[in-house]
């Protein structure tokens, strides 16, 4: 009798953080870098800070697991990175943080604009504007 155990439900946040752990280990092996447990935890903390908005949103998503095929594809991607790819990734990291801030500003300005347009429409309707 082969009974399947019910899979534990996890959040999207937990699934992504578990994938980070696997991918971090794969990348460290690929680069022949030895990281202490403290360095690994610090790297994970910085990942959580950089992607806090995404991780917070994924807290609402309930999953059985992150598909193994997806994680394997990501690991294969790490294995096939060229030296130029690695340099490009390193160069892009600081840009991601800046781009996220720019997107926040853009979203804020778009919301501001919608609010102003709403007030203008309300004033036109209420006071018989043009």
Backbone dihedral region for residue 3 (phi beyond 0: left; psi -120 to 50: alpha; all else: beta): beta
Structure tokens at 74: 């990501």
- pTM of the predicted model, to two decimals? 0.66
Confidence of residue 130 (pLDDT cuts 50, 70, 90): low
Q: Tokens at residue 38, please?
A: 């403290």
Q: Residue 13's CB: how many other CB atoms inside 10 A?
A: 19
Contact 24/40 with Cβ under 8 angstroms? yes
Span 75-105, pLDDT tens digits: 999 999 999 998 998 899 889 878 888 998 9
pLDDT value of position 3? 56
Residue 67, by phi and psi: left (phi above 0), alpha (psi -120 to 50) or beta?
beta
């Amino acid at each position: 009798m082969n009974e399947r155990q019910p899979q534990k439900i996890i959040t999207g946040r937990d699934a992504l953080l578990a994938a980070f752990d696997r991918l971090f280990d794969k990348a460290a092996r690929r680069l022949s870098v030895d990281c202490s447990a403290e360095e690994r935890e610090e790297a994970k903390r910085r990942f959580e800070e950089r992607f806090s908005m995404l991780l917070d949103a994924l807290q609402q998503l309930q999953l059985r697991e992150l598909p193994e095929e997806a994680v394997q594809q990501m690991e294969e991607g790490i294995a096939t990175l060229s030296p130029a790819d690695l340099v490009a990734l390193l160069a892009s990291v600081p840009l991601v943080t800046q781009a996220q801030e720019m997107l926040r500003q853009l979203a804020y300005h778009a919301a501001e604009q919608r609010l102003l347009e709403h007030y203008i429409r309300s004033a036109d309707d209420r006071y018989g504007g043009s």
